[in-house]
Amino acid sequence: MQSNVSTHGMAVAPHHLASQSALAVLREGGSAIEAMVAAAATIAVVYPHMNGLGGDGFWLIVPPEGDPIAIDASGAAGSRATLAAYDGLTQIPHRGPQAALTVAGTVSGWDEALKVSREMTGKTLPLARLLADAIDYAQNGTPVTASQAHATASKFDELKAIPGFAETWLVDGKPPQVGSRFYQPAMATTLTRLAEEGLDSFYRGPLAEVLAHGMETLGLPVTLADLNAHAARRTTPLKLEHQQGEIFNHAPPTQGLVSLAILGITDRLNMAEADDADTLHRIVEATKLAFGLRDAHITDPRALKTDVQKLLDPAALQALADRVDDSRAAPWGTGKGPGDTVWMGVMDSSGLAVSFIQSLYHEFGSGVVLPDTGIVWQNRGASFSLDPAHLLALAPGKQPFHTLNPAAARLKDGRVMVYGSMGGDGQPQTQAALFTRYVVQGVPLQESITRPRWLLGRTWGQTSDTLKLEGRFSPETVARLRALGHEVELFPDFSEAMGHAGAIVRHPNGLFEGAFDPRSNGAAAGF
């Protein structure tokens, strides 16, 4: 099972058209960052159930030399999103105008990332060029994937009555058919406006006015002033010192801590020689401990009570590793639930690497499509609590908790790696599976992604908190895990519930190796 290897650059995305958009920009001399903006715009159109302009994004940029840069392009709760506004409810609704309660940050992230690109390279491609593919696909139609058709059909009943949903995402009142051609004329108009007015128009220009008017009309808790106040932030990534090298991920409000903690704990267990059952058991047990850290600490970065980086100190990780029992599964509570997302990676010939995620949270987010824009707004604010004493208590201007966390690593042997996955609680677990297989156990890159995966908790479309195993694990492995006390649930082969993973590695000889997930519509495209 071979990866794709190239000499000049590589792009990986869960939809092949997004990979091709990135590749075309690389061929024209654009940076990995510019290529990623092109891919991000395209995938917002061709995978519209998973991500879009109405969602959030997170960037992890690893230059050839020097410290990585993170960009937090996630929005805060709107000024009308007060506890009083949700009085009488026990939790925030997952759908409808009340669910669309945070500013969408993703477009601000594209803008900020392009500034980083200009600072690094001193040159720039026109914005209209970067958005050209996305505009074309929105105007002239894209093929409906099985993923989009399934998401629309499975959520049809809960979404069909939400403002703007039916007009935008249904065809003659029904979910679109796989392989049919799907048009998004309003989105084409919006993307064209951004190309002409600049990305900042989304927050402080004519487009912001249109968005705010729609919000007011539909009763969203977000206002024009909230859009005006939003800006993406450059942040310092979290770093894990691992036997194999340095691993980077995002700081709060994301769960990057979880992904690094799992790898930090398992780094202290004997993973190199572990078989499937031992590998899985140890990572699952480490996941439970890492989720404990998450639930105790991660919130809006301004409200943190702890220096989260210190939770990754060797002594702290050793204390957690000592709690892993090789002979028994520890009990655990419940996960945070699903997350519908895209992860993408790009590397260019200079050695610049980008690990990137953008998301609407649940499939189609809140379901609310703002009038005349084609933009479906996220429901990330549903991760807030209505309990005023809770760590994640709702408050205007507060950032919600995010499952999103793009990863990167600089290995001691000179390899540089970007990797990640979609899938809520599954993201850190898939990252751990991929990193452990490829870096620690020496499994080839593509095979590390293709091999069967697992998921503790809930992800995309799931409601139970069992340990879910994909098909293709041996009966012996399944039996051992059950004997250890895991509540095992078996899933089909190549189940989308296991997320869409991807990775790119730059080898010391300058070659780029890319791998994509056969569970997606993706591609690893290089030249």
Q: What is the DSSP string of 346-370?
A: EE-TTS-EEEEEEEEESTTTT--EE
> Which residues, including other chains, have CB under 8 Å from residue 79's CB and lie 6 or more apart?
221, 222, 223, 225, 226, 396, 397
Nearest Cα residue to 35 out of 270, 298, 349, 336: 349
Q: Are 208 and 227 in contact (CB under 8 A)?
A: yes
What element of type H or E holds 26? helix 16-27
Give the position of tokens 């807030």: 384
Nearest Cα residue to 275 out of 451, 82, 133, 66: 451
Residue 316: count other Cβ atoms within 10 Å of its Cβ: 15
**Residue 513, helix vs strand vs coil:** strand
If you count them, how many residues does the chain have? 527
Q: Are 103 and 138 in contact (CB under 8 A)?
A: no
Q: What whole-number distance in Å separates Cα of residue 43 and Cα of residue 401?
A: 24
Annotated active-site residue in 168, 279, 287, 341: 341
- Does 341 participate in catalysis according to the annotation? yes
Nearest Cα residue to 111 out of 205, 232, 228, 193: 232
Q: What whole-number distance in Å separates Cα of residue 30 and Cα of residue 124?
A: 7
Q: Following CA atoms 345, 47, 436, 312 in sequence, which dihedral angle do they give, to the nearest 10 degrees?
A: 80
For the annotated catalytic residues, the residue numbers are: 341
